Structure 1
Amino acid sequence: MNASRLTAIGLVAAAGLWIASGHFLPHDKAESRVAARAGDAQAKKLFRVAVATTSVVPHSRKLTIAGRTEADKRVTVFARTGGVLTELKVKRGMAVKKGDILAVLSDEAREAQVAQAQAVTTQKRTELDAKRALILNGTLPRLQLVDLEAQLKAAEAGLAAAEAEHDRGVVRAPWSGVAQDVAVEVGQAAFSMAGREIASLVALDPMLAVVEVAERQLAGVKVGAVAEVRLVTGERTSGTVRFVAKTASLTTRTYRVEIEVPNAEGSIPDGITADVLVPLAPVLATRVPRSAVTFSSAGNLGLRVVDANDTVEFVPVGVIEDEQSSMWVTGLPDRSRVIVQGQDFVREGQTVDAVGVPELTAVAK
């Protein structure tokens, strides 16, 4: 191949390359510009979320604890002296009032002592009355008046002691209640009765609902608060917190709380299982939809909110009460814009298209 032919081929190739560069390169730049504009439009298209403004209000919580009912008072009544049990006026399950006679222990010696003391007292009083006029008009020494008065007082004291010993044979109810058990029978043996159990009584009105409260929850339980009591039988009633222990149980590290419940009819038995709803001190909290509560990338429970620039932030919260469709939480600032739809598809620091929905109103309770 001669030199002129090589030169011609080179010129043709160079021309072809020049033409190709003029045809294709501008086309590639145009496509790049279109792709860039599409990317910018895509970047400007923000993810849309629904946000609702929340309010912080005082919220009264209720602590639900399983407990039991317990008689307000229980006592075992003992015989205070010896004798034969001649009368038994109480039966198991019988209601008694304060001062009612439960049993009578008869002892002839005690009765004789009372009779003797009465006779001596009568004698001394008669002797004093007979000699008082003679002493006052000077017939008898005035010193005898003092002596006779002292003898009468001694006789009256002896009578009082004899009657007190006799009364010990009458066993009475110390307060109103129900006889839970009767441990004796009529005719039971005599002088060994001293110190023997006669009956055990329980006071059922008022009834107590007793629960054990954990140390972390104790601060919110206040004496005088009204609590709801739900018995295992389905019956519901209410009572007043009357006692909050200041010392924890050594075994459970819980604190005893007593709720006093009226039980005039005696319909609530002693020892039945019950759920007690104890009110706690109000706290500032926010009511939010349950569906809005989510987890952060670190696994913390909270809510996603948007700031004034519609940038997503995560706020950790604490749940204090869980309702059917909502939760009461703490830790959320007042007037927060909470993401209630789409919160699981955005992340902290992301700018979103925030669309407002009706404000979440929370009523203090």
Structure 2
Amino acid sequence: MKALYKFLPLIALALVAISCATEEGVEAKKAELKELKTQSNEINSQIKELEAELMKLDPEFAKLNHKSILITTAQAKRGRFEHYVEVTGSVLSKKNVSISAETSGRILEVPAIEGMRVSKGQVLARIDTESIQRSIEELENTMDLANTLFEKQERLWKQQIGTEVQYLEAKNRKEGLQRNLASAKTELAKGVIRAPFAGTIETVQVRLGELVQPGASMFQFVGESDLFIEADISESYVGVLGKGDSVDVRFPSINQEIQTKVSAVGAIINPNNRTFKVEVYLPKVPMVKPNMISVLKIQDYEHNDAVTVPSHLILSDNRGDYLFVVVEGFAKKKYVERGKTFDQETEILKGLEGNEVLVDKGFREVGDNFNVNIAQQ
């Protein structure tokens, strides 16, 4: 055991030496690996540069070394292209009126409620007209007496008894009472508020027992006929739209579409939002109600012989807009000048003839002169 203790320091020194040698070997290998990776990156970069140069100089080399990319194709089209402006409008009524009291009195009854649809002549409210009713009764009694006096005076006048003045006074009194009675009955009728036409009660502004005066607003009433659509159009379209232009109208809430015409174009630009008003005629359409939202599609451009392509195929770089066309099994970058876009189709003003085969699926994976393989569709 004592002999073992004598060798312990030597064993420890040996272990330390072995550990140091191992660490030095690992670091050396790491450094060597790093250097090789650097050389590999440099070599790969040089290979890519040489391949790119050879592909430009030697088409056969490009065919052999370019991996074929699987794509689908789309066809450029030549034909009629239309562009539309889509704006949101609101259904309004020319019969949007405020119904006011025409006589004074206390509200006795309000059968109308907000949102209620009513027919022409339906009672909306009743006003207390007891004082007018008493006046009518008094006038009717006085009228009876005036009629009796006039009839007697008329018989006497025909018998040439009495003076003409007495006859005329009796006649004038009777006719005056008739006019007063008619006016009182008209005033009595004003105590019943009726719907002037078929429509919807928007707001009720009176309550039971409330005292109203002539001219006081009682109801906001919207008719169901004479509807139209009003929309705000950007001033950039001034001169594009005119009275009589065709308009496609869609009502999203009822999923219905109609075709109609512009009935009026505003002559003033709103300085707050730089728009002008457009009014569109609305024929009678079931389920369409005042204040309903509509979407107007108004044509502002057309070209009968336009070249069009799917909008999503157009890419851009520092030089401009481009897309890829298929030529003899290769993708070729084609720069174009685009026009208007509508319904995912874009008009091409320059760069295409309209008979080109375009790279569709896979257009983001290809590059100029890439070998492509067209998949069966």
Alignment match, 2:263:
242
Q: SS of the counterpart of 1:155? A: helix
Superposed CA offset, 1:7-39 (max 9, x none): xxxxxxxxxxxxxxxxxxxxxxxxxxxxxxxxx
Q: Where does structure 1 lack aligned partners over 5 or more consecutive residues?
A: 1-51, 302-313, 344-365
Q: 1:285 to 1:252 in 2, by over 3 A?
A: farther
Question: Counterpart of 1:202 in 2: which secondary structure?
Answer: strand
The one of 217, 222, 232 equivalent to 2:237 is: 217
| Structure 1 equivalent of residue 156 of structure 2 | 134
Aligned to 1:172: 194
The C-alpha deviation readout for 1:65-95, integer Å capped at 9, x for no partner, is: 1333334443332323222322323233221
Shift, 1:230, TM fit: 2.0
Query: In structure 1, what is the equivalent of residue 92 of structure 2?
Result: 70
TM-score by length of 1: 0.59
Deviation at 1:268, TM superposition (A): 3.1
Deviation at 1:289, TM superposition (A): 3.0
Q: Which amino acid aligns with 1:241?
A: V
Q: Equivalent of 1:200, from 203, 212, 220?
A: 220
1:248-286 Cα shifts (integer Å, max 9, x gaps): 212122111122334564x33444443211245x76653
CA contact (8 A) 1:209 1:229 kept: no
Shift of 1:121: 2.9
In the alignment, residue 228 of structure 1 is paired with which amino acid? D
Provide the rounded CA distance (Å) in 1 between the counterparts of 2:354 and 2:250: 38
1:287 paired with 2:306, answer: yes
Unaligned runs of 5+ in 2: 1-75, 323-334, 359-377
Residue-by-residue CA offset, 1:127-158 (whole Å, 9 max, x unaligned):
22222232133222233333322222221221
Q: 1:69 to 1:136 in 2, by over 3 A?
A: same
In 1, Cα distance between equivalents of 2:169 and 2:151: 13
Letter in 1 for 2:87: I
- SS of the residue corresponding to residue 64 of structure 1 reads strand
TM-score by length of 2: 0.58
2:239 is paired with a residue whose SS is: helix
Distance 1:318 1:136, change over 3 A: farther
For 2:270 and 2:188, how far apart are their aligned partners in 1?
A: 45
What residue identity is the alignment partner of 1:137?
Q
Task: Name 1:110's counterpart in structure 2.
Answer: 132
Structure 2 residue aligned with 1:148: 170
Query: Match for residue 346 of structure 1?
Result: none
Matched, 1:125 2:150: no
CA contact (8 A) 1:209 1:276 kept: no
User: Do 2:157 and 2:164's aligned partners in 1 also have CA atoms closer than 8 Å?
Assistant: yes
Q: Check whether the contact 2:98–2:220 (CA below 8 A) recurs between aligned residues.
A: yes
Name the % identity: 18
C-alpha distance after superposition, 1:323-344 (max 9, x if no partner): 5556386xx9xxxx9475499x
3-state SS of paired residue (2:135): helix
Q: SS where residue 157 of structure 1 aligns?
A: helix
Contact 2:83 2:342 in 1 (8 A): no
Give the 3 Å change call, closer, same or farther, for CA 218–126 of structure 1 in structure 2: farther
User: In structure 1, what is the Cα distance between the partners aligned to 2:116 and 2:356?
Assistant: 65
For 1:1-365, what aligned pairs fall within 5 Å after superposition?
62-186=84-208, 188-190=209-211, 192=212, 194-233=214-253, 235-238=255-258, 239-262=260-283, 265=286, 267-280=287-300, 285-290=304-309, 319=340, 322=342, 324-325=344-345, 327=347, 338=353, 340-341=355-356
Encode CA deviations 1:170-224: one digit per residue, 9 max, x unaligned.
Answer: 21223321112333344x144x555544332222445433211123323232334
**Cα 1:97/1:338, change in 2 over 3 Å:** same
| Structure-1 separation of matches of 2:230 and 2:220 | 21
Are the equivalent residues in 2 in contact too, given 1:205–1:262 (CA < 8 A)? no
Counterparts of 2:93 and 2:245 in 1: how far apart (Å)? 20
